[in-house]
Homo-oligomer: A and B are copies of this chain.
Amino acid sequence: MFASLIQFLPVMKGREFKDAMYDGLSKLLKALANPYRLEIIEMLSQGEKSVEGIVQTTSLSFANASQHLQVLKNNNILKSRKVSHYVYYSIVNNDFLAMYQHIVKFSVTEIAELEKIMNRQRDDNKALNSVSLDELETMIRDKNVLLMDVRPATEYEFGHITGAVSVPMNDLLCCLKDFSKEKEIVAYCRGPFCVLADEAVKILTENGFKIRRLDEGYPEWKMKQLEAN
């Protein structure tokens, strides 16, 4: 048929794009498809870390961590900067983070096993009378809340919820006298499954403060900010 001859060029062009598309896409997905690399991404969504920093909080060896980091960097998921003989890695941009959170959100609701653990966690948080991001917003607007970032100081410095004060868990006990027992306190940390805020709630409640935890963490807040624009 003549038609198929006429069609030949544009079809080839479509085919060429498709192949480039599927290859490129699968390379990106392959880079993501490893539990350790996902853990690294999760860590770096709190801020930049040196290779040493990553080795400390994962079970990876230096050489292995370095390899995984390079896979992520070569696929444009991470970027790095060198300061003296430390190399600091961080997430390449917010677009990646938005896509990553989209994948996580889907997985958590679709993978039955994860949904179960997730719901258990949510119930626990509810029992602790946690505050949602929306509630927090009204509380901040009404100015009757002290917002406490209980992550390590470096993570606070890299980025934090507007208006929060940095009170790393290590400093918590020695700073007790600085806080009012009248004003409501909200503590937040790395995300819904991070236990730092839970501990802060426990310790401060025992000492007679009015404190609750945020049910989400810094990365979720950041994404919400980005979506609002």
Residues of A whose CB lies within 8 Å of any CB of B are 6-7, 10-11, 13-14, 16-26, 28-30, 32-39, 42, 76, 95-96, 98-99, 102-104, 106-111, 113-114, 117-118, 121, 193-195, 198-199
Contacts and interface: CB of A to CB of B under 8 A. Distances in A.
A34 B29 CA distance: 8
Contacts of A194: 14
Interface SS, A side: helix
Contacts of A199: 6-7, 10
Contacts of A198: 10
Nearest to A36: B22
Given A117-B20, A195-B11, A102 B99 contact: yes
Interface centre among A25, A76, A99 (most CB of B within 10 A): A25
Contacts of A113: 20, 24
B33 A33 contact: yes
Given A14-B195, A29-B29, A111-B28, A35 B23 contact: yes
A193 B99 contact: no
Given A33-B33, A95-B106, 13 more contacts: A6-B199, A7-B199, A10-B195, A11-B195, A17-B117, A18-B39, A20-B114, A20-B117, A21-B107, A24-B114, A28-B107, A29-B29, A29-B32
